[in-house]
Structure 1
């Protein structure tokens, strides 16, 4: 009986620790990103924005930087630029990622 109680309490304690210890990168960015007029509210992850040419206008009104990739689905190692929070950039790219 005591062993079962300790197992249950241990599982509850582990669940609480995992809930508290989740890194902030697992959450969406606060704010929005505009890409050629398309709005992405509280974005998180990878977004495709169309063909890489011509350049796209990125407005980053979030609390995190975003990375722009030449290929769709944020694939490849070709990173065409980074847009810091609160900045606007014209970059060539088919997708962007925000942590």
Structure 2
């Protein structure tokens, strides 16, 4: 009985550590995110974290050639709710400031 309790507690402890560690882990989507805006053409290879595209809201032509969904934010630093998500292989135009691929 004590052995089973110890094993259960160890499993729960490991799960808690992983749950706390994973949200902060860096994730790099594989592929290229292409962003065209009035500021020019940019390509982000294997994007990770929040991409600050501009300091003010602009129309962004986004082509998502990555393995993840590109979330477009109307606020800097990918703050607030995502305005939209662009699935892998899709393209669209949205007004935004920052992008994060998840």
TM-score scaled by length of structure 1? 0.69
Alignment partner, residue 91 of structure 1: 94
TM-score scaled by length of structure 2? 0.67
Alignment partner, residue 53 of structure 2: 49
Q: CA deviation at 1:40?
A: 0.3
Number of aligned residue pairs? 77
Q: Which runs of 5+ in 2 are unaligned?
A: 1-17
Q: Which runs of 5+ in 1 are unaligned?
A: 1-17
**Residue 30 (1) aligns with residue 35 (2):** no
Deviations 1:35-65 (A, max 9, x none): 1120100011100111213x11011001111
